[in-house]
Amino acid sequence: MFVKTALAAAVLAVCMAGHANAKPKFEEVHLEQVYSTEQDAALPNDEPSQVFVDWEDGKWTEVRDGDLTFATSYRVKMKRGYIVLADFGRLGRGDSMVWAIAVKLWGGDLPKSVAGVHPVQTDTEFLNSAQKDGIVAACNDSANEGNGFTASYDIVLGMRVSAQSKQHALAFGGSEAEATTSSLMRLKVVCEPPEETVEAAPKPVSVDLQIEQSGDTCPKRTVATAYLNYAEPTMAKFRLSVGNGHPKFRSVETREVSFAGKTFHRAEAEFDYKLDPGPKTFVLRARGMTEAHEETVEIDCPPFNVVSAWLTYEVAKTDACPKEVIETAIFNTTRPGWVNHEIKHQGGLVVSEGKLTAKRDGDKYAAKAVRT
């Protein structure tokens, strides 16, 4: 009886070891471009990512150095194994990918599946020379006053996912399997207006920017109202940006207003944001202006606090045991910050603990831990 039991246990141990050491296998790897709403300041607001092109000697000549953000939606699911890291890259020579940006898309333990919306943040040096030439050509081919001196250009963004068979088998960054995918990302190309157009544009005689915050929670709703006064009627074209975020554009026909015995022709527009705490600089630029108008305000938010915590379990729908169980802990907070957490059995035994980062998640802030 003892021999049979020991033999069965040995066979079971060998089978389990073989399964645990099997090479990771991917079920799904997906990437696509998305556009966010104004509620998510971390991603481009209802616009593709933008690049700017300079004008010189009667033509558009080169891509201006600057930040570049791709808003990506991703899904990765393993049939077997754990996800270690995601790399993002661009096309190099011979249609091969150059992996330039490494990012961990999750916090806590290594997961078996991840999904969400992520800003891939880089700069224009991420673009290769052929892509920069194509962007400049797009300006020279299609930009004109009728479309606001803009164009579009698509590039290929790739994602490579690394995985390993065990959650803690290898050091961070090590992998036993990789899978790749790619997607077209559309850039909005903002072409600097030609010199003659800039000179012909009327210059505002005065500019003002009024900024109002509302509500007791964050992200804080903030409305910026731009006022541009001109000496003559015109179609005002201007844009507003917050910090290093992508600008929002407006074209507004002026209306006649009188104040203190003087008559102006005013263009007025509101820009609605939901902003994270801290100082924010609003930058207003308009055609005809030689210098930008700036206003800096402090976005007032409540002190950091964890307002709720949720713990859920997803049990694999299989007939065999042991079953895979995915534990997800979500902590909602009042603002970005660190969350120290413990998960205990009912008897008080601590089974998981760690330090998480609460980040912007739509209209709230949350920290998430996933354990399998």
Q: List, run by run, the mean pLDDT of 10-residue segments along the chain (372 residues).
A: 36 42 88 63 57 87 86 90 89 82 78 85 88 94 88 93 78 72 91 69 91 93 95 90 79 89 92 92 88 93 92 86 86 90 84 84 85 82
- 159-181 CB burial, b ≥16 within 10 A, e <16: bbbbbbbeeeebeeeebbbebeb
Burial status of residue 323 (CB atoms within 10 A of its CB: 0-12, 13-18, 19 or more): exposed
**pLDDT of amino acid 6:** 37
**pLDDT of amino acid 323:** 84
Angle at the Cα of 338 from the Cα atoms of 333 and 343, rounded to 5 degrees: 80
Are 52 and 110 in contact by the 8 Å Cβ rule? The answer is no
Burial status of residue 132 (CB atoms within 10 A of its CB: 0-12, 13-18, 19 or more): middle
List the strands of the sheet with 67-80, edge to edge: 25-33, 67-80, 113-123
Integer Rg of the chain from CA: 27
**pLDDT of amino acid 259:** 81
**pLDDT of amino acid 166:** 82
**pLDDT of amino acid 291:** 87
**pLDDT of amino acid 4:** 36
- What's this model's pTM, rounded to 2 decimal places? 0.51
